Amino acid sequence: MSKGSMIIVLGVLIAFVPFTGFPDSFKTTLAIVFGLAIAALGFLVRQERLWLLRSLRGEHATDGYAENNPRRSALID
């Protein structure tokens, strides 16, 4: 199941929680858990979208890693 469809399902579940016959404390717990899950999935979807946009613009193509030379930094100090 994709993240988008999971967000939809959790949203529908949150909408029906008040109409269940569960005690109020259990309803509150369900609402908090479902809400946190929606927030986490929304954050992940946003991060994936930002990563995709950056890669399409070519920003990740120039990422590189340069290791510091310990001898050179010792000579400079």
Tokens in use for 37? 């899950």
64 or 77: which leads in pLDDT: 64
Question: Alpha carbon of 20 to those of 10, 12, 25, 28, 34: distances in Å?
Answer: 15, 13, 12, 12, 15
pLDDT value of residue 64 = 64
49 or 73: which leads in pLDDT: 49
pLDDT value of residue 68 = 66
Question: What is the residue extent of each domain of the chain?
Answer: 3-60
Query: What tens digit of pLDDT does each residue of 14-63 get?
Result: 999 999 899 999 999 999 999 999 999 999 999 998 888 888 877 665 55
- Please enumerate in sequence order all residues whose Cβ is within 8 A of that of 3, keeping only pairs 6 or more positions apart, or say none: 41, 44, 45, 48
